[in-house]
Structure 1
């Protein structure tokens, strides 16, 4: 009887598990060590940090792409994801090079892993590097430039700073050279002080004793005495190079100009207050934005940006009077007739290249300008408090009056091409702004549960889709609510405590587009100061895809294809909610608001990542296992 009872209990437990337990995953990965952190990359690979090292997981493979355990456990601060690339750099070791402050990573041991192919491309231990000063991945050339001390050679060579250039596609050394002659007695201390500049036929290395230019076999072309340069940028011809020197512990910056032969082209360098956040070489001069930091963080009221326009021939300021920003420059665009900029604290202005104000008066706006973009009618701006379209030449408003609303935690918007109107959600309603007249009307009302504000709006075939973390709604052409579905958060307290990176379901395509807009590399790869078109995400994705395709490397070509493809889940939204079997993720159809798939995660505070673009859910099932679910089914 006892055996029968135990069997009945086991059957009961199995039935309960099948009915209410965890949904069966499509792939299971047992990493054999405690999982500490998960990071979803722009390529769709999940990087998992464990007590043993880091692993790369792609749901297309039944086994991890790689398990890197040579350095042991890797902390968050020991990983650096190179923007717009398939690379993650890991660093470890207690030692710090003399130029440690130049990089987010300071460990003596370094490795570069291609998280698309799973290849470990570079490892300092294998190549005899005993101390690292600088370590820079240069794109789009796809090179690694490293400086430090290497074990190879005699005693003098082992203690002489060295620079090496590696080809990341081939995984081999291109060339290397010493910063000074090994064994030569000198009182001068040589160290790399910033990011080298890789040109078509040369490499310029900033050092504590000046700039050194080498050809692509390591032969010295020229040297000068321009010391302690932090970074450089060249014009399109590569005949003129601008070098930036941090001074006063980085609180100010000096700008130098150098010729292709190493000669200083300006009689005096140009000093600007603060650190340079934007620098654009134009046909008629140099546009510069520098930020002075006050107390209280990046968005502190005490912060202020300075804008200058310099003469390229001598570095002198071309403006008699620089525009007063009275805040932090949040948007900065160079246009044919001048510089357009928006201030975080509120305000938009446009200055001609000869220093004249193009707007009749500075445009007053609300705080935090979320969007500045081109439309056929002019410049649209949307802030936490208001929205309008203004004439890009004069700054005069196109709409009869700005749309104003209470300061919103989130504002969603879209352009309804079929009805020639802009739709903006705020104050628990959707406002419609007629494109040609600027007339404002109430399009529809909503009442989202948990006091949420919509953070996403899109025009669908059957209407206007609006969503937040726990709510989805659809409105018809006349503004009537076709449906509103609410999926309760697992628990309000737990929901708020879990890290945003764990709870938020973010589009990797949008994240990568943001990286492109931010300008991931000051030498120009991925950077842009061009004003974008409103809601034109397709061009952004194509631009990224074209950049990746232009690099002769298989992993970059995979990234290019990923950006050319449509999102695997473009018709769905994913919401963490309470299910009959426990906490889980629901796949909600945007056109009906109905659940098409449920995945029970059996955890009140689940840790997971959703790759919307690839259509995969990665879930930390227990301390050492990751489950992957195909969301496209």
Structure 2
């Protein structure tokens, strides 16, 4: 039965559960923004500088006031790491700083490390190194140089000069380091405007130069003997070069690729390449003459870069999912459609699958490949593409689609907005398990199989069904109002997003190279991927991050809803299994700015212009 929080209940709850902050932090200056990082450290910027807050500590973890006013757009977070880059100043007075916000210390700063100006700064993981390009200060010699720093200690390891500043010559003759460097064994490969350099990191000697200039990034094969360089052109296209580990150009000619590379896989039988062509900004005759905006898939010879396929598969849209299988390449298109191509270019499915738009999920199951889109779902044979079920499951397009796998009942569950569908894993039989209607015209955006039943949630609604679809409870808390409502930004959501993006740059993410699973929306697997990213980096900060994600989220059994309470706008903590109100925190602000750390069980609330209040949830 639906229960709506009444004024009396709120009054009683407020009296019983009124909360005082565990700590209050005075940061000085007006706060511009605060960001909850993957590590749980809250980064706060504004007129007082740059500060970090760590759960349980009485004082700010760090507070760098010497930076002056810091703007949010000056911050660059390095994904899946404890590092933050601060970019301040203009072209000729720039200052770049690298901070380990878990340790709370500065690792690198432009002037302090002897640099006048930097043209590039790159964090290399898992080697845990920092590589910078630029011009040294006059005191440090004034040369155009490359610097190498250890990120665990912050110590300088080497500075490699690219020219002799005492020698008079044309500035155009000096090579300028350009794209992202690459560490191969004990060598550092640096792409420049003139060529690609290989530098011995121990001695600083240049071992060789390769005739590949202006590379944007590089990749090395598993043997460590062959290097691929990618040059992103001003017109949006890409050129691929191949270099040996001793500096020889292995392809007679560079390989020209239409569009920007989004995926590149070095496979035993060749090179799988996906590029995105975007001509949406072209108009008139130029638009008529240009190619369609879509992804292009190619399979190239590793020997010379030539096409191994006589005919590339048609996409008619952008690739959303891309997986390397034992017998070929499986891909899904964002605008609809799934196909599978063998490594020799043959279509493995009898015909391309026609699907709805926006493929939320492609996952392997004991019965075959399941896909779920905005409007349909099906399980198909991975060899032929034929439907395992009698026909695809069709449903009306919803504002949000949520799905889960119910292992105990061998079924797939799909929420299409106002209806919860149950699909028998073995037969494909479909039934309507429940109909639901959320207040404020919301629809569930999350579906979770729990011990007590099936939980569907949105911003203001929390619904628990039993396994037969019967309603156990429906809790609803009215939003404070569209004009003042600030959506919750949880650490868990931020982490999941980063884990998926940093794992291998696949939009398909979890179900691709990281191994198929029939656990749709498997939170544990997402966290395992994230932990694996830290496992081989032996620094204290990475170990602390790894420990955090091995632990169970402190609030995994709670749902937080922002609503209007008797004392003002506040946050309600509900138990996911019984719907009971466990706690209320009044934020006393019509437009509260806050962050919830679900792992650490903390609420951070901007309680004043330069003040942060921390509550234990």
> Normalising to structure 2: TM-score of the pair?
0.92
* 1:55-74 pair list within 5 angstroms: 55-74=51-70
How far apart are 1:21 and its partner, in Å? 12
* 1:445-594 pair list within 5 angstroms: 445-495=435-485, 498=486, 500=487, 506-517=492-503, 519=505, 529-530=513-514, 532-533=516-517, 534-535=519-520, 536-594=522-580
Separation (CA, whole Å) in 2 of partners of 1:399 and 1:588: 39
CA contact (8 A) 1:231 1:244 kept: yes
Q: Which has the higher contact order (CA 8 A, sep 6+)?
A: 2
Separation (CA, whole Å) in 2 of partners of 1:413 and 1:296: 36
* 1:589-628 pair list within 5 angstroms: 589-628=575-614
Change (3 A) 1:464 1:528: closer
Q: Say which SS state the counterpart of residue 436 (structure 1) adopts.
A: coil
CA contact (8 A) 1:290 1:305 kept: yes
Separation (CA, whole Å) in 2 of partners of 1:487 and 1:50: 33
Separation (CA, whole Å) in 1 of partners of 2:135 and 2:43: 30
Partner of 2:87: 91
CA deviation vs aligned residue, 1:297-352 (integer Å, no higher than 9, x gap): 9xxx9631111010001100101000111111111111111111111111111111
Partner of 1:162: 145
Separation (CA, whole Å) in 2 of partners of 1:51 and 1:119: 20
Partner of 2:318: 328
CA deviation vs aligned residue, 1:448-498 (integer Å, no higher than 9, x gap): 001111011111112111111100111112111111111110113333xx4
> What stretches of structure 2 of length at least 5 have no aligned partner?
1-10, 283-290
Partner of 2:3: none
CA deviation vs aligned residue, 1:333-391 (integer Å, no higher than 9, x gap): 11111111111111111111000111111111111111112222221211111122221
Separation (CA, whole Å) in 2 of partners of 1:195 and 1:379: 37
Partner of 1:425: 415
CA contact (8 A) 1:507 1:611 kept: no
Q: Does 1:138 align with 2:121?
A: no
Separation (CA, whole Å) in 2 of partners of 1:164 and 1:127: 10
Separation (CA, whole Å) in 1 of partners of 2:205 and 2:511: 31
* 1:94-243 pair list within 5 angstroms: 94-95=90-91, 108-153=94-139, 157-158=141-142, 160-187=143-170, 188-217=173-202, 218-243=204-229
Q: Does 1:387 align with 2:380?
A: no
CA contact (8 A) 1:192 1:208 kept: yes
Partner of 1:102: none
Partner of 1:41: 37
Q: Say which SS state the counterpart of residue 356 (structure 1) adopts.
A: coil
CA contact (8 A) 1:22 1:602 kept: no
CA contact (8 A) 1:210 1:228 kept: yes
Separation (CA, whole Å) in 2 of partners of 1:396 and 1:182: 68
CA contact (8 A) 1:206 1:228 kept: yes
Q: Say which SS state the counterpart of residue 621 (structure 1) adopts.
A: strand
Separation (CA, whole Å) in 2 of partners of 1:292 and 1:22: 56
Q: 2:395 aligns with which of 397, 405, 408?
A: 405
Aligned residues: 591
Separation (CA, whole Å) in 2 of partners of 1:568 and 1:504: 13
Change (3 A) 1:469 1:329: same
Q: 1:371 aligns with which of 349, 361, 367?
A: 361
Partner of 1:435: 425
Partner of 2:6: none
Q: 1:286 aligns with which of 256, 271, 275?
A: 271
Separation (CA, whole Å) in 1 of partners of 2:79 and 2:492: 17
CA contact (8 A) 2:21 2:615 kept: yes
Q: Say which SS state the counterpart of residue 609 (structure 2) adopts.
A: coil
Change (3 A) 1:503 1:302: farther
Separation (CA, whole Å) in 2 of partners of 1:21 and 1:69: 37
Separation (CA, whole Å) in 2 of partners of 1:296 and 1:422: 41
CA contact (8 A) 2:209 2:247 kept: yes
How far apart are 1:20 and its partner, in Å? 12
Q: Does 1:28 align with 2:24?
A: yes
Q: Say which SS state the counterpart of residue 37 (structure 1) adopts.
A: strand
Separation (CA, whole Å) in 1 of partners of 2:356 and 2:327: 25
How far apart are 1:542 and its partner, in Å? 2.2
CA contact (8 A) 2:573 2:581 kept: yes
How far apart are 1:441 and its partner, in Å? 0.3
Separation (CA, whole Å) in 2 of partners of 1:257 and 1:418: 51
Q: Say which SS state the counterpart of residue 86 (structure 2) adopts.
A: strand
Q: Say which SS state the counterpart of residue 538 (structure 1) adopts.
A: helix
Change (3 A) 1:426 1:553: same
